[in-house]
A and B are shown apart, each in its own frame.
Chain A
């Protein structure tokens, strides 16, 4: 890896000096990060690196090529430009665009140190592999090797199939132990072997007392309970399992190389998951720090216009797109302000006087401390849940919007705080993806896979569901189902190896 990276251009002495300054400023505020290596690249290289999700040595796949095409086109038409790219790794790697001016380099470096601090300290990143650059290179080599041995087409198609369930992971399993680690020393106990049918315990009694000593109701209840327990034990998996990837990995009839490829994709999914989980917080944090460092220290007169221009570009709001940079930054500032004034806690919440609340100042001065704590323990979902307040929502004119099927337009739905917050939290739950878990790996006792969509009022996109099931079948090799809701009634969608079956549609036809 390092050999490859060093083929990029080194920093100029001027930039090295700036880097040293920026790092010193960042450290002076208590930001804590891994060593950060800056690489200067041209736009093509940057687009290529970005297409690979930041890892130039990643395994080959057409979608990276597609991503690259889009980035390149967007760049050449002047529609988009990647300013900065940081890799969560120890050391952190950050890419600077060679054609940027010196002011931009300052801004980007300050921004990057924010990200690096976040990567190192946020709890949701704790599980990530800090040697991911090496790991990715290994992944790349393994997959390239498989391609050499089994053919590009074959391996790539398999990767396509795996990517369909890439998002079906259990993002919280990195912090919550879902099940005991199985060990190879676990032998099935003779007593675990269940005998035929469950029977109730029968006490000895004289014949005429029997119906009193062994009441029928109690006996039946016991049998029912035992049967339930037995069923539970027989259930596979015993508890619904959100990590569909893991389930498939452990139970699908895959070849060794396929198992390895799937595990690679799963590893990468877990590595990237926290970035999606903390987009608002991470960008907000980095923006907070580039803004603080630039305005308080690093900026000189000639930087002003350029800085203001680019900073406002980053923070531009839009009615159809909630800018994560902007939202994150403003929330951190709001939190800092409230904790500086002591505007939190029971006494504050209970106060009815608007003016008193507005001028509340207990001079607690805990703001900085609080935001450092927030960046350590929260993710976007809990961050919004905890800190998005009514006042904030009003001040920043937030609204929720939805799609109106009749008019074909996105329309503003509400400015009610509860509605806005609900919508935002919904969009952040499970990173905006439907929650899906494995309910049964031996459906109908025929080895079919049954997934369940935890329905929360929003239907699945049918076309995608169909394609996903079709691809999943390629992994599972037996019919696959997903239980979900369509038009307010539960349905099971199936791909049986030949065709896609949607009972709701067939009913409609009849």
Chain B
């Protein structure tokens, strides 16, 4: 039976989405979502969705319990946002509303809120893949694809016309001729594939705080790009004076000391692009995070690599500079001098603190590329 609850339930979800939208900046800023990410769902803790009433505050909390223990003995951890009703039989502590929301939906909210344009994949219409779609009905086919309703209707029609249908005892028995089966056709669909290349400076000057920012920002970038492409691949490159490709885990948890040579990372990046990602087939996104420190004479090499081997293959090359107590922040200026403010592919952004992540995402993805 259709329960009325479905309506209220979806109404509630709608309100929740509104809440998430309202507080999106907060969620973006705090890395809370990461680690909560399931396969396709994220669980978002919403503090309260509640009809307010007059009720007792802190010093009214408490009640009567049963069991052993001496006065003064703690029995339960308090919670700052406690239930506060102090009811007999009311649990101390409170329920946080955990709302499951799909990554797709989250991306949609992010897109709406940040007014991100939908990405136009660059001319990839020539890459196609066959997709199976059930579009028609046939008289033959495997039993597993039997179309029950059509079969039933056919049988009913036949029985009525044969005069064997009795309304008092409406038994419908399909025979072989009545059977109908779903049938499919192959539809060639253009596939847009994308690869995201993350590069991060892991030299001594990058602290945990900066990495946290990178991590949070890349979560949102992932979420958005994932909603725009069918297949997404991610590659991670870390570098100090030397560079190497690593997996996601290592990427976020490595800490090296030593100098910084950005060209090393660019070299690895360029090689990866050359060997695996033909720009004719792939939408390439590069995100580089650094504190802007680079070995003085390395800038020239880096720029050359970037200009000749990387930028031409990219949809977007984003350089995010996090502020670090040790870094000079030099490289951002170098890039700007070399390429100017308005480059077609290269986007730069300064991320001073967690609060800046929100705007930085907008800068990076606001181009719709």
A contacts, CB < 8 Å to B: 7, 44-45, 47-48, 51-52, 56-58, 60-66, 68-70, 73, 152, 156, 160, 163-168, 279-280, 317-324, 326, 380, 396-405, 407-415, 420, 423-424, 426-428, 432-434, 436, 453, 457-462, 464-465, 467-468, 471, 482
Q: Which of A63, A66, A319, A323 has the most CB of B within 10 A?
A: A66
CB distance from B9 to the nearest CB of A (A): 4
Complex Cα spacing A168 to B52, Å: 12
Kindly state whether residue B88 has any CB partner on chain A within 8 Å: yes
B interface residues, tally (CB under 8 Å): 56
With A51-B5, A156-B11 known, 17 other A-B pairs at CB within 8 A are: A45-B1, A60-B4, A65-B5, A69-B12, A70-B95, A163-B51, A167-B54, A320-B65, A407-B74, A408-B77, A408-B80, A412-B72, A423-B63, A426-B86, A428-B88, A461-B56, A464-B55
Nearest chain-B residue to A484 (Cβ)?
B54
- Expressed in whole angstroms, the Cα–Cα distance for A427 and B56 within the complex equals 10
Would you call A403 and B62 a contact (CB within 8 A)? yes
Is B62 in contact with A464, judged by CB distance below 8 angstroms? no
Q: Which residue of B lies closest to A423 (CB)?
A: B64
Among B5, B7, B54, B85, contact of A460 (Cβ-Cβ < 8 Å): B54
Task: Decide: B88 and A424 in contact? CB cutoff 8 A.
Answer: yes
Q: How far is the CA of A51 from the CA of B12 in the complex (A)?
A: 13
A322 to B1, CA, bound (A): 38
A-side contacts of B66, CB under 8 Å: 317-319, 322-323, 326, 396-399
By a beta-carbon cutoff of 8 Å, the part of chain B in contact with chain A is: 1, 3-5, 7-15, 49, 51-78, 80, 82, 84-92, 95, 97-98
- Say yes or no: A319 contacts B56, CB within 8 Å: no
**Chain B residue at minimum C-beta to C-beta distance from A414:** B71
A398 touches B64 (CB 8 A): yes
Q: Is there contact, CB below 8 Å, between B72 and A411? A: yes
CB–CB B90/A321 < 8 A: yes
Kindly list the 6 A-B residue pairs having the minimum CB-CB distance in the complex, ordered from nearest.
Answer: A65-B12, A65-B8, A402-B62, A458-B60, A467-B52, A409-B74
Q: Within 8 Å CB of A70, what residues of B?
A: 95, 97
Flag if A321 contacts B89 (CB, 8 Å): yes
Q: List the B residue with the shortest CB-CB distance to A279.
A: B89
Listed A/B pairs (6) with beta-carbon separation below 8 Å: A52-B5, A57-B4, A60-B7, A321-B91, A322-B65, A459-B59
Q: How far is the CA of A156 from the CA of B78 in the complex (A)?
A: 34
Once the chains are docked, how many angstroms separate the CA of A420 from the CA of B82?
A: 22
Residues of A within 8 A of B86 (CB): 426-427, 432, 458
Check if A318 sits within 8 Å of B65, measured CB to CB.
yes
Which residues of B are found within 8 Å of A47, using beta-carbon distances? 5
Are A399 and B92 CB-contacts (below 8 A) given A69-B12, A409-B76? no
Are the C-beta atoms of A403 and B78 separated by less than 8 Å? yes
Q: Which residue from chain A places its CB closest to the CB of B15 in the assembled complex? A: A62
| Given contacts A321-B91, A459-B60, A482 and B65 within 8 Å (CB-CB) | no
Contacts of A321 in B (CB 8 A): 63, 65, 89-91
Given A403-B92, A405-B58, A424-B88, A319–B8 Cβ distance below 8 Å? no
Residues on B with C-beta less than 8 A from A319 are 65-67, 69, 75-76
Cα–Cα, bound, A366→B67 (Å): 31
Report yes or no: B63 in contact with A468, Cβ–Cβ below 8 A.
no
Q: How far is B60's CA from A152's CA once the two chains are assembled, in angstroms?
A: 37
Knowing A61-B8, A164-B51, say if A400 contacts B95 (CB, 8 Å). Answer: no
Contact of B8 among A62, A160, A400, A458 (CB under 8 A): A62
- CA A323 to CA B57, docked complex, whole Å: 23
Which partner residue on chain A sits nearest B99 by CB separation? A69
Q: In the complex the two chains form, is A56's CB within 8 Å of B88's CB? A: no
Partner of A164, one of B1, B53, B63: B53
Tell whether, in the assembled complex, residue B88 and residue A324 are in contact, meaning their CB atoms are under 8 Å apart: yes
Chain B residues, CB < 8 A from A436: 54
Query: What chain B residues lie within 8 Å of A44 (beta carbons)?
Result: 3
Are B12 and A60 in touch, CB under 8 angstroms?
no
The interface residues of chain A lying within 8 Å CB-to-CB of B52 are: 164, 464, 467-468, 471
- Within 8 Å by CB of B63, from A326, A409, A427, A459, lies A427
**When the two chains form their complex, are residues A398 and B65 in contact, meaning their CB atoms are under 8 A apart?**
yes
CB distance from B154 to the nearest CB of A (A): 30
B62–A167 contact, CB under 8 A?
no
Shortest distance from the beta carbon of B69 to any chain A beta carbon, whole Å:
5
Q: Which chain B residues border A45 with CB–CB below 8 Å? A: 1, 3
Of B63, B87, B97, which is in contact with the most chain A CB atoms at under 10 Å from its CB? B63
Q: What's the least CB distance linking B12 to chain A, in Å?
A: 3
Given that A397-B67, A403-B92, A410-B75 are contacting pairs, would A64 and B8 also be in contact in the complex, using a CB cutoff of 8 Å? yes
**In the complex, how many angstroms separate the beta carbon of B1 from the nearest chain A beta carbon?**
5
> How far, in whole Å, are A132 and B305 apart by their CA atoms in the complex?
78
